[in-house]
Amino acid sequence: MKQAMPVNEQQLGPNLTFYDLHPPATDMLEEVTRSLTAPRPHLHPKYFYDEAGSRLFDAITTTEEYYPTRTEAALLARYSSEIQAQLGHANTIAEPGAGSCQKVRLLLERWSPERYMPLEISRDCLLQSTRQLSRDFPEVQIDAVCADYCQALSLPADNLPGGRVVFFPGSTIGNFDPAERSAFLRGLHHLAGPGGALLIGADLQKEASRLNAAYNDAQGLTAAFNLNALHHLNNALDCQFDVNNMRHVAFYNETAQRIEMHLECLCDQQLHLGHHQITLKGGTRIHTENSYKFTVEGFTRELMDAGFRPRGCWTDSDDLFSLHLASTD
């Protein structure tokens, strides 16, 4: 196993410990330059989530068209005890990419685990959300881990008792391409450890019209969310995107079974990337996100291929969304 780097451990409250795994600062300029000058220009979906972007995402989840968040929340509320019964003793809930730690509250209330371990790359976001959480749940020990969860899936797991439940809601798994997905699911298997389990949300395939509407809401919030990635780059790198001359494009690619989001240049765009200037021709599309849609059978198969044993699957009456429970052994 990889040798853990020195962990800065801080006691921030009676039930709140902060482990700083020093996620390496990525060179944003270098990464963005490489992806915008690639044969197919693209941007990683993480660039959506600056402060404004996180707020826009929250707003999207309240629109009529965007069904995943509320459907998953209803499934969790309805089946939490059934899921818990399948789990045996869930001593620890671990959540990669926990963000504001909102969704887990229902599980903390109903399952009363001993420990909650959010992993989150944004130090500020993690500190803020776990400070509040530790007050609201004084009986839960919170081990907040500041880490890039893609790199840290093997980390402070070692000294914790078995029976970790990894919680990965929201169909975030849909952002990964098939090959990345299988590697990532194996990482989650490792994080859950012996005697552990995975509770994961997966958005389901359905009529294209419904999917297209969910990513083209009438209020234009998804468009604003997509375009906000450019504001984020302008603010962070001063690359001078003319955002008013960029257009949100989102559609269901039925062959690949994914929503694709792009940003299309309505005219030539002169960009400043450090010392370099690049031009994106009018009509160029920057690919900003894939959101894969699954079948229950297909996703169950992927879980098995990653070494999990499926323990249960719950869907809503319209088969919009699925929650999967799988154990590591």
Residues making contact with ligand AVJ (CB under 6 A)? 60, 68, 170-172, 174-175, 215, 222, 225, 289, 291
Interatomic CA distance for residues 310 and 307, integer angstroms: 10
Q: Please name the helix (run of DSSP H) or strand (run of DSSP E) that holds residue 174, with its range, or none.
A: none
Q: What's the distance, Cα to Cα, between the start and end of the chain in Å? A: 20
CA distance 55 to 265: 25
Where on the phi/psi map is residue 308: left (φ > 0), alpha (ψ -120 to 50), or beta?
A: beta
| Burial profile 46-73: b = 16 or more Cβ within 10 angstroms, e = fewer | bbbbbeebbebbebbeebebbbbbbbbb
Report in angstroms how near the CB of residue 61 gets to ligand AVJ at its nearest.
8
Which C-beta is closer to ligand AVJ: that of 97 or that of 187?
A: 97
Nearer to ligand AVJ, 222 or 269 (CB): 222
**Closer CB to ligand AVJ, 31 or 58, in the complex:** 58
Quote the least distance from Cβ 251 to ligand AVJ, whole Å.
12
Shortest reach from residue 149's CB to ligand AVJ, in Å:
14
* Least spacing, CB of residue 79 vs ligand AVJ, in Å: 20
CB-based closest residue to ligand AVJ: 291
**Residue 103 CB, nearest approach to ligand AVJ (Å):** 12
115 or 324: whose CB is closer to ligand AVJ? 324
Q: Which amino acid is at 158?
A: D
Dig out the tokens for 185 from the structure.
């699911």
Give the HSE-up count for residue 276: Cα atoms under 13 Å, Cβ half-sphere.
Answer: 10
Of 228 and 291, which CB lies nearer to ligand AVJ in the complex structure?
291
